Each structure stands twice: as structure tokens, then as C-alpha cells.
Amino acid sequence: MELYRLGIAEARSAIDKGEISPEELTDSVLGRIRTVEEKIRAYVSITREKALAQAKHAEGKKGNQALHGIPIAIKDNICTEGVRTTCSSKILENFVPPYESTVTQKLTEQGYVLIGKTNLDEFAMGSSTENSAFAPTRNPWDITRVPGGSSGGSAAAVAADMCIAALGSDTGGSIRQPASFCGVVGLKPTYGRVSRYGLVAFASSLDQIGPVTKNVKDAAILLNIISGHDLCDSTSANVPVPDFTAPLGKDIKGLKIGIPKEYFIAGMDKEVEESVKQAINKLESLGAISVEISLPHTEYAIAAYYILATSEASSNLARYDGVKYGLRIEGDDLIDMYMKTRQKGFGAEVKRRIILGTYALSSGYYDAYYKKAQQVRTLIRQDLERVFEKVDVIITPTTPSPAFKIGEKTDDPLHMYLADIFTISVNLAGVPGISIPCGFTSENLPVGLQIIGKHFDEEAVLKIAYAYEQATDWHKRKPEI
């Protein structure tokens, strides 16, 4: 078996036993990148020299570091000290952060090897990784199709074995949707579970960093490392961090799984629907009890999200003005410099969202749009809170269709936005959600199953995800590139 195919737990065990070395593992992953990266374009930057130096440093060392010598990719909107962090935008093309994000600092303390920074939709705004200023990423299962977004580079890199695991960020489904499209595991933790310090902000009340991995156990291992209260992030929750690997392998008999009728809709791909229903049957055969539920305000989630997220983006992206850092295009005066810099530096989708958000926040429209969207957000959260009084988790499809063709939806933003219809409510409510592989279409495209949990109950989500994963073989299938 090629070393690049290993997961975190397998690699850590092999390194601890002396069966492989960090340098051998890193060399194997770098070799895999050389072989397939040109076809996939999962990376913005490949940190070859840094990775080899870190692997060499780990060589011969013994210790209890959970990621000792293990190559991991980081989404390129998460700051890495001394390593370019572009957000896949021209405006930050040459930006090198002078500080480390909290999550990457925690990975460093656990001995990880930074293999590279992964591609994304510019400033994480998109569902296909076609909005990158550098190049679209391609789906390893079919390179004519998108990998999803905005963490498409992270999901594609994991699926193609170009890293052992990766970190992504999820604002409206940006970890779970590409995980579904690429046939890997993607976890969005509860809002506040993981520090956002060093994550370049898109929508601050929605963004959350999470793991993208080859299996559920690896997701739990990474979540153990990156979770915890952080004084550098005012939205970080001061709650206990359990061992997320502890519930894995435990019986799920008697656990109640809610099946929302609003998530099985007209126009949904029939093969996706069938795969998800078979997954529910499998969970029932393992002892889970399914309960039909209703989340009546789901239909308003997309509208509320695209007011709130664009409003926050409009505010957050005001800092890219050509004055302090990033791209600067000289103008006749200060205002002209601002306009030229932002016009040249931002792509079409980012401009669209800034305009939408600025309009929603403008005088005379704030109450009609932003305030109303916040009220709808409260109703969506209350829907989930009511349902969680009766069930332990909620089961849904991750996406209404498998991966679509590159270019298929770029001229229709609204159609593109609907790709996140099943994931957005999770972010609006701040609850955790995971996508795991649950089948393939007749065209050999992965299908994802979404498991949604209560606030700070990632343990239940991971427990059920692991039980399903171990009872099936979907996660073992690999694309031929």
C-alpha cells in the first residue's frame, strides 16, 4: 500500500511502531502531489521545503504528539506565519501573515507537517471552487466536474490522497458540501467550539473551522486538537472539550434520528435520495429509531443566509482598501485608489456579495432586510431546538445533487446558491454537522449523508457517523485519477 493512502490514525500507529518515518510519509505525499496535482489543482501553494524540514525535525523523535510527522493541508484562508495566505484572491496574492492562526498553532504543537495551502472560492464565497482567482479545482472522481466549495481544494486534496487530512472552513456548507461531492468526511463543529483567530473573515457570525478527513475517526482526532476556548477570539466558547474519539464504536441502539420532511424535496436527484434513504435503513438496522420531524422555516434559510452573510462580508471586506496591506493600485486621489484597488483585486462573485450586503445594510433597508433575516434566523434555530427535544440527531442529504459540471452554473448565481440548501440552516443555528459518504450514483459520483447534532454535542454526531461508516464500505472507495 502506498503511504499517501494512510489516514491519521494509521499513519501515527505506523510511525510510532517505527514501520515508517515522517520523512518517508512526507516524501510519499509530495510524490503523489507531483503525479496528480496538475489534473486536480487542489493547492494554491505547496510548501515542499517547509514540509521536508518539519518531517526531518520529527525524524527520530518520540513523544505523545497526536500528529507527529503527519502531512496536513490547510485551507488558504487560514493564516500561517511566514507562508502565503491568499484567500484565492488577487487582492491578497502576495500576503504573508506575520502571525499563526490558533488552529495551526495547535497543529504545530502536535507535530504536524504543513504540506500546502489549498484552493478555495475567493474569500470562501462560492459552492464550486470555480471562483478562485488562480484556477478552478477539479473533482478527483471526474475532472470535468467541480469538487464543491468553498473548501473544494481541501476536499479534493484529501480525496486524491494529496494529504493525510486537511482543515477547511464552513460558513454555509463549505466543508460539508465539498466533502459530499468528493466522497470524504467533512465536519462543521458547533459555532464557538473552534477558535476563528487567524481565519480570514467572510461572515463572522457563521464561519467555523473544521476537519476534512478520510474517515470519521480522523475527524474526531483533529477536532480534539483544534477545539477549545481562545482568548484571542471573543466568539470562542468557554466549554469543556471532551475526547471526541471516546464515543466511537459504542452502540447506537435506541438513539432517535429525526428525518425532516422538508429535506426530501421535488427536483432532488433520485439517486441521491435513494442513497440517503438506504443509509437511514442501515442506521435503523443498527438499532437507531427514525422519527419523522418538521423544520418548517427551512424554506427561508437560503434567503436569510444570503442577506446575513453578504452583509457581514460587506463589513469585513472593507479593510481591503490598498492602504494597510495587500494589493494597491495607485489613483488620482484616495477615493480613486480605493476604487481601482477593489475593482482590480476582487472577483465577480465577491463584488456581487459586497454590493448585496452593502445594500441590505443601507439606510432605509436595514429593517426590511438585515433585521428581518436575523428574525428568520431565530425561527430556524428555534425549529431545531424544538426538534432536539425529541431526537438525538437529524439525518438529511448533504446536497440535493451530486457534483455538477465545471461551468454548468457559473452564469446562474441563484442556481449555484441552491447547492447549499441543505447545509445553510446548520450555520444559521450554530449547531454541528458532518457529511460522510453514503453511496455513489450510476456515474460513479459520491453521495453524502449529513448528520446534524445539538449545540456542543459533536459526540453524538461522530458516534452515529462512525457506526454507519463501519457498517459500510463507501469510505474505502478511491477515485482513479
pLDDT in tens, the chain (481 residues): 799 999 999 999 999 999 999 999 999 999 999 999 999 999 999 999 999 999 999 987 766 899 999 999 999 999 999 999 999 999 999 999 999 999 999 999 999 999 999 999 999 999 999 999 999 999 999 999 999 999 999 999 999 999 999 999 999 999 999 999 999 999 999 999 999 999 999 999 999 999 999 999 999 999 999 999 999 999 999 999 999 999 999 999 999 999 999 998 888 999 999 999 999 999 999 999 999 999 999 999 999 999 999 999 999 999 999 998 899 999 999 999 999 999 999 999 999 999 999 999 998 888 889 999 999 999 999 999 999 999 999 999 999 999 999 999 888 887 888 888 999 999 999 999 999 999 999 999 999 999 999 999 999 999 999 999 999 999 999 999 9
Active site residue 75: yes
Residue 227 bears catalytic tag: no
Whether 277 is a known active-site residue: answer no
Give the up-direction half-sphere exposure of residue 215: CA atoms within 13 A in the CB hemisphere: 24
Which member of 89, 150, 311, 435 is catalytic?
150
Write down the catalytic residue from 75, 106, 117, 463: 75
Predicted structure pTM score: 0.97
Half-sphere exposure of residue 233: CA atoms within 13 angstroms, side-chain side? 27
Listed in sequence order, the residues at least 6 apart from 102 whose beta carbon sits closer than 8 Å to its beta carbon are: 195, 197, 198, 230, 232, 233
Cβ-based burial of 174 (10 A; exposed 0-12, middle 13-18, buried ≥19)? buried
Three-state DSSP at 338 gives helix
388 vs 394: CA distance, rounded Å: 8
- Which neighbouring-strand residues pair with 260? 293
428 closest CA partner among 348, 314, 312, 349 = 312
Task: Choose the catalytic residue: 174, 180, 314, 425.
Answer: 174
What gap in Å lies between CA 375 and CA 360, rounded to an integer? Answer: 14
d(CA 344, CA 89): 10
* CA–CA separation, 219 and 340 (whole Å): 43
Q: Where are the domains of the chain?
A: 3-254+391-476
SS3 sequence, 424-453?
HHHHHHCCCEEEEEEEECCCCCEEEEEEEC
CATH T-level assignment (fold) for domain 3-254+391-476 = Amidase signature (AS) enzymes (3.90.1300)
pLDDT of 63: 67
Nearest to 176 by CA among 467, 463, 448: 448
